[in-house]
Amino acid sequence: MRRRDFITLVGVTAAGWPLAARADRPPFLVGMIGNSADWHLFREAMRDLGYSEGKNVKYELRTDETEPARLAEAAKELASIPVDVIAAFGSPASKGAQAATQTIPIVMFGVGDPVRAGLVASLAHPGGNVTGPSFLGPDLGPKRLQLLKQVIPSLVRVALLFNPNNATNLITRDEIETATRDLGISLVQVEASTIADLDTNLSGLLSQRPDALIMTVDAILNSQISKIIDFLESNRIPGIFAAREYVLAGGLMSYGPNLPNLFRLSATYVHKILQGTKPSDLPVEQPTKFEFIINLTTAKALGLTIPASLMSLADELIE
């Protein structure tokens, strides 16, 4: 019996069954959506949990889509197959999946504030078909601004690079706007909802003469990190980011949760759902550890002296 015929036959009755309890079912089919180079970490975590690709699990990956419209279409494709669960990286991918289906479980991750983004009702009681680990991005934006201020005491103008089509990015922008006003710092907003926007608006940023740049977490921006780092290096602009990977690429600093761990943690959510747990019964977990990374080579190239007190707080110093 073909998979689609099987699902049609059981119809509404199967909706109440734990997925793992279906007799002689085909391998679980897991949809993955969102632009990232770290999906292999998700698959590795799934293997550690007992899932062997081709035997008891198969994957449908949609990783090249970054623009909301394309993400929405990719999510619809996964829902129409249909997959047993969708793992979605980032707010746009998660929102696209949420719009595509209200019945297929969705494990979202890399989302800063899933409540304010409209993905879950609350952290303790997600409700609906969406859950997953939070990235806690918005609350960390002001902290990154404070770290820049410690490295650059004369900081008076900072640029914020964000995607206006990303709900979490908009929350981050609002919080950083408030923080800059409190610190007496001017904020230059650099929007990039497409790669073309990024190229144009980065070039236009130079006329604003920012002292530093903060970048949000977003699939489009993440896909262009090498270009962004090259731009900052060429124009001697210090940048602070959300994850260690950006500092390894040449960024000055990062402060935030460990991104690879989020991919691994999301696999545990998928596992529990495949074993029959409802998404609404799985609370949204918040990161408990935040990494502070400094690239001393980049600091030296920029002519910046990192205070000893700040270096003592760093989890890693890259030289």
Report the pLDDT value the prediction gives residue 3, as an integer from 0 to 100. 41
Report the pLDDT value the prediction gives residue 70, as an integer from 0 to 100. 82
Residues lower than pLDDT 70 in the chain: 1-25, 64-68, 137-138
Provide DSSP, 128-173.
TTEE--B--HHHHHHHHHHHHHHH-TT--EEEEEE-TT-HHHHHHH
Report the pLDDT value the prediction gives residue 11, as an integer from 0 to 100. 36
Report the pLDDT value the prediction gives residue 313, as an integer from 0 to 100. 95
DSSP-derived 3-state class of residue 318: strand
Report the pLDDT value the prediction gives residue 282, as an integer from 0 to 100. 97
Report the pLDDT value the prediction gives residue 190, as an integer from 0 to 100. 96
Report the pLDDT value the prediction gives residue 237, as an integer from 0 to 100. 97
Report the pLDDT value the prediction gives residue 296, as an integer from 0 to 100. 97
Burial environment of residue 70 by CB neighbours within 10 A (0 to 12, 13 to 18, 19 or more)? middle
Number of Cβ within a 10 Å radius of residue 52: 10
DSSP-derived 3-state class of residue 113: coil
Angstrom distance (rounded) from CA 266 to CA 162: 24
Report the pLDDT value the prediction gives residue 65, as an integer from 0 to 100. 59
In the sheet with 28-33, reading across from the earlier edge strand, the strands are 57-62, 28-33, 85-89, 106-109, 130-131
**What single letter denotes the amino acid at residue 194?**
T
The tokens for 161 are 């690079």
Please give the backbone phi and psi of residue 270, each rounded to the nearest 5 degrees, phi first.
-60, -45
Report the pLDDT value the prediction gives residue 136, as an integer from 0 to 100. 75
Radius of gyration from C-alpha coordinates of the chain: 21
Report the pLDDT value the prediction gives residue 1, as an integer from 0 to 100. 40
Number of Cβ within a 10 Å radius of residue 266: 25
Model pLDDT for residues 10-29, shown as the tens digit of each residue = 333 333 334 554 445 679 99
Are 240 and 253 spatial neighbours (Cβ–Cβ below 8 Å)?
Answer: yes
Tell me which CATH code domain 137-256+291-318 carries: 3.40.50.2300
Please give the backbone phi and psi of residue 131, each rounded to the nearest 5 degrees, phi first.
-155, -175
Are 26 and 90 spatial neighbours (Cβ–Cβ below 8 Å)?
Answer: no
- Please tell me whether the overall predicted TM-score, pTM, comes out greater than 0.85 for this model: no
Model pLDDT for residues 108-152, shown as the tens digit of each residue = 998 888 998 899 999 999 999 999 999 876 678 899 999 999 999
CATH topology assigned to domain 3-135+259-281 = Rossmann fold (3.40.50)
**231-235: long-range pairs with CB below 8 Å, 24+:** 231/202, 233/298, 233/301, 235/206
Q: Please list the residue range(s) of the chain that carry CATH number 3.40.50.2300.
A: 3-135+259-281, 137-256+291-318
Report the pLDDT value the prediction gives residue 4, as an integer from 0 to 100. 40
Are 241 and 248 spatial neighbours (Cβ–Cβ below 8 Å)?
Answer: no
